Amino acid sequence: MKKLLYIAYYFPPAGGPGVQRSLKFARYLPDHGWLPTVVSVDPDHAAWPALDESMLREVPAAVNVVRTRSRDPYAAYARVRGQKKSESVGVGFADDSVPGAFERVARFVRANFFLPDARVGWVRFAKRAVNRLLKEGTFDAILTSGPPHSSHLVGRWASQKFGLPWLADFRDPWTEVSYYDQLPFLPWSRAIDGRYERLVLRDAASVITVSRAVAELLRAKSKRKVSVVPNGFDPSDLEDIEPIRGNGFRVVHTGTITESQNPAGVWRAMRSMKDSGADVRVHLIGRVDASVRKSIETAGLAEALEVTPYVPHRQALAYMAGADCLLMSVPRTRQAAGILTGKVFEYLASGPPILATGPVDSDPARLIREGSAGAMFDYDDHKGIRAFLDGQYTSGARPDMGRSDYLAPFTRQKLAGDLARELNRIAE
């Protein structure tokens, strides 16, 4: 069996969507001839937005996980604010309250003094662990997972020092990530960040990413081949799931919802339904930006709103399965068409119809349309959204998933095989 050095900052017991891809690859790569050794951060030193101890059970016993120390700005930020570090770690600038002067200064410091990202303090500790592992044992390839894209700097260094082929996995874009324009870069820091990105794209033996649109973006930057290994879902996660239901017609969103994702057209349509006598409810599960709460209240849906903080992954799946309609909102960003998260696939696999807002010609819109699983509407198309919700409210029908094999290409087991083939290619 070939040996893989897998560098991933987000790994169980970290929670959240960024963990799923690395965890499932580590779980299923041994079935395809690759045994990973994972280098990650120690939970006591990590800047993770959430913990999910339950996912540790999925890490195979044969997979060695090496934990390291780290230094990051969140610990100091939390001390100044009188918070726990976990309370100060944001996701895509989803703030529980409206950012004040202190938060704006903190964003300026992060943008200009922590490059390429706020986890750069992990790099030197990760390098030490990688250096020891590569001197003590033999590996056939290196894989890095970003964001944080500082992980790729570790892979680039190790590849050059030890002569191993290195694959860089972009779960999100780098300088076009959805919140990038919210960072107050100075010209010099933006230039340095762009240079880091170009070096990684130039020097990696292989680059993979999650969607066609992001692949095209990275190809345009680097003039090189970029392969697509999308996110997916694990059928075993959905076994014996007991749906969590509630009163009324429940529109459910799981995961972080930021200001750039605020689906104001949905709130307007739901208020119109409520005025017509419909018993509609909004259930948001995860971190919710203060601007989104305010938008819901302004729409007159405060009494119909329920917010549940982050829950373990399996519980989130139970909320998905019990929804009357699943809400997905693509961030309003320049590269919105290529945002294809793992949540999309879990939404598809869980069954309820999907109401999505975003570019109607995007990768997620195409996936939902091809699966007959719901509909994507323009952000402000409240009339189209209202018509869709009226139809679901009246019929309560689940979508017809069309071809029985529709989701087969997106199982985590199959995608691990796709990754293994790419690793085989560069290892040879």
List 281's β-bridge partners, or say none: 250
Burial of 95 (0-12, 13-18, 19+ CB in 10 A): middle
**This prediction's pTM:** 0.90
Higher-confidence residue of 79 and 334: namely 334
331-341: average pLDDT: 77
Q: Which helix (H) or strand (E) holds 252?
A: strand 249-254
Q: What is the pLDDT of residue 304?
A: 95
CA–CA dist 100, 107 (Å, integer): 11
Q: What is the pLDDT of residue 72?
A: 74
Q: Which helix (H) or strand (E) holds 259?
A: none
Torsion, CA 62, CA 68, CA 73, CA 78, rounded to 10:
80
Strands 374-377 and 206-209, by their bridges, are unpaired
CA–CA dist 221, 205 (Å, integer): 16
The position carrying tokens 């130039």 is: 202
Neighbours of 68 (CB within 10 A): 19
Query: Which domains does the chain carry?
Result: 2-232+411-427 (3.40.50.2000), 235-395 (3.40.50.2000)
402: pLDDT strictly greater than 60:
no
Torsion, CA 172, CA 175, CA 181, CA 187, rounded to 10:
160
Contact assessment for residue 314 and residue 55, using Cβ atoms and an 8 Å cutoff: no
CA 228 centroid distance within chain: 16
Confidence category of residue 99, pLDDT binned at 50, 70, 90: low
Highest mean predicted confidence (pLDDT) among 99-103, 175-179, 289-293, 333-337: 289-293
Summarised one tens digit per residue, pLDDT across range 216-275 is 999 998 888 999 999 999 999 998 899 999 899 999 999 999 898 999 999 999 999 999
Confidence category of residue 75, pLDDT binned at 50, 70, 90: low
**SS3 for 167?**
strand
> Residue ranges of the alpha helices (H) in 277-362?
290-298, 313-321, 342-350
Q: What is the pLDDT of residue 76?
A: 56
311: pLDDT strictly greater than 50:
yes
- With helix as H, strand as E and coil as C, how does 97-127 read? CCCCHHHHHHHHHHHHHCCCCCCHHHHHHHH
Half-sphere exposure of 153 (CA within 13 A, CB side): 21
Summarised one tens digit per residue, pLDDT across range 344-392 is 999 999 989 999 999 888 888 988 988 888 999 998 899 999 999 999 9
64-75: average pLDDT: 85
88: pLDDT strictly greater than 50:
no
